[in-house]
Amino acid sequence: MKYISTRGQAPELTFEDAMLTGLARDGGLYVPETIPQLSTDDIKAMAGKPYEEIAFQVMRPFVGDTFSDDDFKGIIERAYKGFGHAARAPLVQLDHGHYLLELFHGPTLAFKDFAMQLIGQLFQTALSRRNERVTIVGATSGDTGSAAIEAFRGLDNVDVFIMYPHGRISEVQRRQMTTPSESNVHALAMDGDFDDCQARLKDMFNDFEFRDGVRLAGVNSINWARVLAQVVYYFSSAVSVGAPDRKVSFTVPTGNFGDIFAGYIAKRMGLPIDRLVVATNQNDILHRCLSGQGYHKGETSPSISPSMDIQVSSNFERALFDAYDRDGNAVSQLMDELKQGGFDVSQGAMEVLQSHFDSGRASEEETSSTITETLKTSGELLCPHSAIGVKVANDQPASETPMITLATAHPAKFPDAVEAASGIRPPLPARMADLYERDERVTRIANNLDALKDHIKGNIRQ
Ligand SMILES: *Cc1c(COP(=O)(O)O)cnc(C)c1O
């Protein structure tokens, strides 16, 4: 299995190298050259199987010969054994034909643990046998960073630096990043918003001298291995509600387009998915684009769903690559236009995108009232991100096709917004109840490439 860049100018890589590299050297994102297919019988056989077995079957064809079957099975086992729920990704029913996929039972209470815990084990195995080390630098709107720190803390071959927008993440998110005491993890509170953090991260990757000097590796949602890990729960949940004999639709609270892109990959692999619905908050560039208004950046406006406060959705580039018939030059041109503020999508590409994706948005008030309503009608207490998904799913035209909405974080990760909407302050699960008492360790840093590079060079272990 070979991986190619969405901008067509970077070398083809194996799964292992694409995973360890993150962003391609031409600024693009790695995608598999072909999408492996699972047959109807393969999918049928997943019914009732443990999550880990489904994970092995779905991901195996993408990994090529990077890992032996036994090694890869061990990696998957270790990745998910710290989850607080035996089913890993349990499904609960909200209403007739509407289900909630709970993706928040991992160590940092958000769906990003599914990918990050796997990546931690993949890196550990690959780096120790190569006898190499890397410096992981990540930008986070809150959940990626905590999931990365949790996955890499204490690993010998890795130093981790996570930039987050100072003052713009929840206290639980911050504490999950600032309280681990291992010396290989570094939380950086940067001046600016998430798009600034993401832009500086891209700058570091495009500075080849720095990149090679510190052996930079990326685990942001641009990393293909993260997308891949997320494909699994589309299969596990769809078979629980009757796939492949029956079609299934999904609604996904979306920011960087990674999670919903994993759903698109599941569909391309043969899972009978009817609609993939992108749900955004008031930062609705994707909803505007999928409604035919072009992809034009605005100002990020802070919301009660901070993990979705994003204007530039990195993974959307992967969807554009397919919509433009995998023409790397066309994608490069669009990304150049994006630097000037935005671009319009060609009619042909728009038709491809709209054949897979629908979209909707929720305002702040709608998000809060959905938390209130859903508690009343089903007893489920939603986090604000999941509430956006539920609101947008409820807005879809009536259909016989079951709808699965992804619940992307635990309500206790956003207690202020949840309490304001519902009157209930959601408690942290017992396994992390002392989070508010632990000591914090964080470096405040300017939105400045040189300052960041100096800090990283000065703090990595050689
Ligand atoms: C990251 C995140 C999202 C957005 O997911 P993308 O893959 O970036 O689209 C939604 N909800 C929560 C809680 C998140 O942490």
Q: What is the DSSP string of 334-376?
A: HHHHHHTTEEPPPHHHHHHHHHHEEEEE--HHHHHHHHHHHHH
Minimum-distance ligand 1 atom for the alpha carbon of 143: 15
Confidence grade of residue 129 (pLDDT, cut at 50, 70, 90): very high
CA-nearest of 35, 36, 32 to 3 is 32
- Give the count of beta carbons closer than 10 Å to the beta carbon of residue 115: 28
Query: Between 194 and 11, whose confidence is greater?
Result: 11
Over the stretch 11-36, which tens digit does the pLDDT of each residue have? 999 999 999 887 888 989 999 999 99
Question: Of the candidates 38, 35, 30, 26, which has an alpha carbon nearest to the alpha carbon of residue 14?
Answer: 30
Q: What are the backbone dihedrals phi and psi of residue 254, each rounded to the nearest 5 degrees, phi first?
A: -125, 140
From 140, 287, 308, 413, mutation site for ligand 1 pocket: most ligand atoms within 8 A of C-beta: 308
For the segment 330-344, the average pLDDT, to the nearest whole number, is 97
Check residue 369 and give its pLDDT. 98
Nearest to 353 by CA among 282, 284, 276: 276
Residues 103/406, Cβ–Cβ less than 8 Å: yes
Q: Which pLDDT belongs to residue 23? A: 80
Tell me if 303 CB under 6 Å of ligand 1: no
Domains along the chain with CATH numbers: 91-110+225-422 (3.40.50.1100)
pLDDT tens per residue across span 286-303: 999 999 999 999 988 989
pLDDT category of residue 102 using cuts at 50, 70 and 90: very high
Whose tokens are 């998904």? That residue is 389
435 Cα distance to chain centroid: 24
- pLDDT, tens digit, 9 for 90 and up, residues 40-93: 999 999 999 999 999 999 999 999 999 999 999 999 999 999 999 999 999 999
Residue to probe by mutation, ligand 1, list 108, 111, 317, most atoms within 8 Å of CB = 111
Residue with token string 């032996």? 68
Ligand 1 touching residue 253 (CB < 6 A): yes
pLDDT of 153 higher than 80? yes
By DSSP bridging, strand 91-95 and strand 98-102 are antiparallel
Contact 32 CB / ligand 1 (< 6 Å): no
Q: What is the pLDDT of residue 239?
A: 98
How high is the pLDDT of residue 312? 87
Q: Is the pLDDT of residue 461 over 90?
A: no
Cis preceding-peptide flag for 244 (omega within 30 of 0): yes
Q: Is the pLDDT of residue 194 over 90?
A: no
Structure tokens at 150: 């949790």
pLDDT surpassing 90 at residue 198: no
Distance from the first to the final alpha carbon of the chain: 33
CB 241 within 8 A of CB 247: no
Q: Please write the tens of the pLDDT for every residue from 213-265.
A: 999 998 877 899 999 999 999 999 999 999 999 999 999 999 999 999 999 99
**Is the Cβ–Cβ distance between 391 and 125 less than 8 Å?**
no
Mean pLDDT of the chain: 95
Among 138, 113, 108, which Cα is nearest to 204's? 138
pLDDT reported for residue 229: 98
Residue range 350-389, pLDDT digits in tens: 999 999 999 999 999 999 999 999 999 999 999 999 999 9
pLDDT score at 300: 86
- 303 vs 387: CA distance, rounded Å: 13
Mean pLDDT, range 120-140, rounded to an integer: 93
Q: Give me ligand 1 centre to Cα 283, in Å.
A: 13
For atom 1 of ligand 1, the residue with the nearest CA is 307
> Rounded to two decimals, what is the model's pTM?
0.94
> For residues 141 and 67, which has the higher predicted lDDT (pLDDT)?
67
The whole-number pLDDT of residue 48 equals 95
**CB 254 near ligand 1, within 6 Å:** yes
Closest CA to 144 of 167, 160, 128, 158: 160
